[in-house]
């Protein structure tokens, strides 16, 4: 790589924004946000206090979203902005994903800011509701996550760490930002102290996350020892100027020198490759890419579903955006085996393991974990190719899969809320179902006949995961495969196609259970009682039947909250009708990739 590749970083330390333009906005915003939460904590009472904290956090993230859009004035500065003494480098790509994860965090908090399920209020007499309120707890139809006051605060700290990580341009700021995000995730995972499974999963997550941090710290230390600098700009320049000895020729190099009786020296580029290799292993642990994926299925399955939603999506986005800059500026010669080829091997293993092992899963979140591993393989493939087309595919794939995965978890959580109304008798024991009501694929049996609209949303999202045209996921996979074939990665493209076809099997298995299998589970007796008494009240009042027959159809009166219904329907329609207006996303991803390559 030549010196011209680093021209965009040349003013990293020389350019400074005025205090009122950029540097002071985020700290002031954080301080004001904390003060607002403290005030909210003081003036609210009991459950309302927790709901208010969640809603205030949504307002904070909405403000961050708007502030990020307003700060797109940096588009006029092609080299980006160096802030805080050069520890962070704000670019168009990082700013775009700040806006994106602010939006995702805002949407995820909607799960805990409003009552997630409700009954059709106009169909009930308040006297009947009061009579059965002790049995059904009508005014407390909320998840356990809403009762945890620290939940929104921890999410804020995770997002702050992720935003700083994406913009890090120094080893020190990178490691501190990564740990701020990671420790927030550990706390979030173990927040349900009454859950034995969540505590165990959080402890596993903490231990293996600490192990991956050790790899990252070791790789960072090797980079500093051999370069004497901590900022990545200097490391990239030294890497491009060093004499290159590849990892593939290391063994022969040492054997020849030792046989000839010559004391061998280690070339700088070899040290760079070893350090970056160790560094990449730590990052692959964090994103649960094969062969470092073994912790994620157990952890994701044991965590409460709402926590899993956040852990699965946000952490991967921030790390991948940071790795993007690392791969682009520290990629060795194509003729040599360098550290980036380890990412390619991990991509191959992720696609194979995530697809094959996912075929035998019966638990819904373990299946989604292996599905995520498979999709991480596609993301790593696009990232490793490192061309304009592949980076465009990488950005597009990362954004669309984050939205699709978010929609999938919203649907799973919604199914779990609706299952609470039915006398479901699982073939296997449900553990801690108050935290994860939907655990097995078998629980979805015949759900199309209970809630057809939600089942159709599930089908559309699964088909998008499988890459069925003309859904959103098809275009993402097509872009990755096109970039791979253009650069000669024929074998990887072939493996990606085969794994996509095989992976469609376990998606279709869920479709079969939901739409074609019949289930005779009935609504719970206490709900039947109140429906019948409500119907009798309407019959006596209006002298006519509310329903066409004496058979009560209670499932017609079961609804999700407006926030859940709105988010699921919006994302599902985006997945379904993307082909009608594809230019917006494609233009954004293409523009970001062109800016990265300096064109």
CB distance 240 to 5 below 8 Å: yes
H/E element, 83: strand 81-83
CB distance 479 to 582 below 8 Å: no
Tell me which residue of 456, 458, 476, 459 sits closest to 467, measured CA to CA.
476
69-113 per-position pLDDT tens digit: 877 765 545 567 777 777 888 888 888 899 999 999 999 998 888
Rounded to whole angstroms, the Cα distance separating 469 from 362 reads 27
Question: What are the residue ranges in the chain where pLDDT is below 70?
Answer: 1-31, 34, 38, 40-49, 73-79, 115-147, 242-270, 332-337, 424-429, 522, 524-559, 599
Tell me which residue of 465, 484, 462, 485 sits closest to 473, measured CA to CA.
465
- The conformational region for residue 84 under phi > 0 = left, psi -120 to 50 = alpha, else beta, is left
Tell me which residue of 283, 252, 247, 286 sits closest to 267, measured CA to CA.
247
Query: CA angle at residue 136 from 134 to 137, to 5 degrees?
Result: 65
Residue partners of 474: CB distance under 8 A and separation at least 6: 464, 467, 468
Amino acid 407: pLDDT: 95
Amino acid 154: pLDDT: 87
Rounded to whole angstroms, the Cα distance separating 319 from 476 reads 20
Amino acid 117: pLDDT: 58
Amino acid 343: pLDDT: 92
Amino acid 322: pLDDT: 93
Rounded to whole angstroms, the Cα distance separating 591 from 202 reads 39
Q: Which two tokens stand for residue 23?
A: 């540097």
Tell me which residue of 10, 91, 236 sits closest to 593, measured CA to CA.
91
Amino acid 147: pLDDT: 62
DSSP string of 188-223, one letter each residue: HHT--TT-HHHHHHHHHHHHHHHHHHHHHHHHHHHH
Amino acid 26: pLDDT: 59
Percentage above 90 pLDDT, the chain: 37
Amino acid 129: pLDDT: 43
Amino acid 270: pLDDT: 66
pTM for this prediction: 0.85
Residue partners of 280: CB distance under 8 A and separation at least 6: 219, 323, 339, 342, 343
Amino acid 128: pLDDT: 42
How far CA 189 is from CA of 158, 162, 195, 306, in Å, comes to 12, 17, 10, 10
CB distance 246 to 332 below 8 Å: yes
């Amino acid at each position: 790589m030549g010196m011209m590749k680093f021209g965009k970083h040349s003013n990293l330390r020389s350019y400074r924004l005025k205090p009122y333009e950029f540097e002071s906005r985020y700290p002031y915003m954080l301080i004001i946000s904390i003060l607002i939460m403290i005030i909210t904590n003081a003036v609210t009472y009991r459950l309302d206090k927790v709901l208010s904290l969640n809603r205030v956090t949504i307002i904070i993230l909405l403000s961050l979203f708007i502030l990020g859009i307003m700060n797109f004035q940096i588009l006029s500065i092609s080299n980006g902005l160096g802030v805080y003494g050069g520890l962070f480098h704000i670019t168009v790509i990082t700013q775009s994903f700040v806006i994106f994860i602010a939006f995702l965090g805002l949407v995820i908090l909607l799960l805990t800011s409003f009552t997630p399920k409700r009954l059709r209020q106009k169909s009930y007499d308040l006297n009947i509701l009061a009579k059965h309120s002790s049995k059904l707890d009508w005014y407390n139809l909320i998840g356990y996550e809403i009762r945890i006051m620290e939940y929104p605060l921890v999410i804020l700290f995770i997002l702050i760490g992720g935003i700083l990580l994406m913009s890090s341009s120094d080893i020190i700021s990178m490691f501190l930002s990564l740990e701020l995000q990671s420790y927030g995730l550990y706390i979030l995972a173990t927040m349900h102290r009454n859950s034995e499974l969540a505590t165990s999963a959080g402890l596993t997550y903490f231990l293996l996350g600490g192990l991956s941090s050790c790899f990252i710290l070791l790789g960072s230390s090797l980079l500093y020892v051999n370069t004497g600098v901590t900022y990545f700009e200097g490391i990239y320049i030294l890497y491009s100027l060093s004499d290159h000895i590849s990892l593939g020729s290391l063994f022969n190099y040492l054997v020849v020198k030792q046989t000839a009786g010559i004391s061998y020296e280690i070339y700088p580029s070899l040290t760079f490759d070893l350090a970056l290799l160790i560094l990449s292993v730590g990052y692959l642990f964090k994103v649960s890419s094969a062969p470092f994926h073994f912790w994620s299925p157990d952890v994701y399955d044991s965590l409460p579903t709402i926590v899993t939603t956040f852990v699965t999506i946000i952490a991967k986005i921030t790390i991948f955006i940071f790795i993007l800059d690392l791969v682009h500026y520290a990629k060795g010669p194509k003729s040599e085996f360098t550290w980036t080829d380890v990412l390619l091997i991990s991509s191959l293993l992720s696609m194979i393991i995530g697809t094959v092992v996912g075929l035998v899963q019966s638990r819904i979140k373990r299946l989604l974990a292996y599905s995520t591993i498979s999709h991480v393989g596609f993301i790593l493939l696009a990232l490793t190719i490192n061309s304009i087309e592949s980076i465009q595919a990488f950005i597009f794939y990362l954004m669309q899969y984050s939205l699709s995965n978010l929609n999938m978890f919203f649907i799973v959580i919604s199914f779990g809320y609706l299952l609470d109304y039915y006398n479901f008798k699982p073939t296997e024991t449900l553990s801690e179902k108050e935290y994860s009501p939907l655990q097995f694929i078998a629980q979805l049996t015949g759900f199309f006949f209970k809630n057809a609209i939600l089942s159709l949303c599930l089908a559309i999202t699964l088909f998008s995961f499988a890459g069925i045209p003309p859904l959103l996921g098809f275009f993402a996979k097509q872009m990755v495969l096109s970039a791979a074939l253009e650069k000669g990665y024929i074998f990887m493209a072939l493996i990606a196609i085969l794994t996509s076809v095989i992976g469609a099997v376990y998606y279709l298995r869920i479709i079969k259970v939901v739409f074609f299998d019949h289930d005779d589970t009935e609504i719970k007796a206490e709900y039947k009682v109140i429906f019948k008494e409500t119907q009798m009240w309407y019959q006596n009042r209006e002298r006519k039947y509310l329903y066409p027959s004496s058979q009560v159809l209670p499932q017609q009166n079961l609804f999700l909250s407006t926030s859940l219904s709105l988010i699921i329907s919006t994302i599902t329609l985006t997945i379904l009708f993307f082909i009608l207006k594809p230019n917006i996303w494609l233009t954004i991803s293409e523009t970001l990739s062109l800016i990265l390559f300096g064109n």
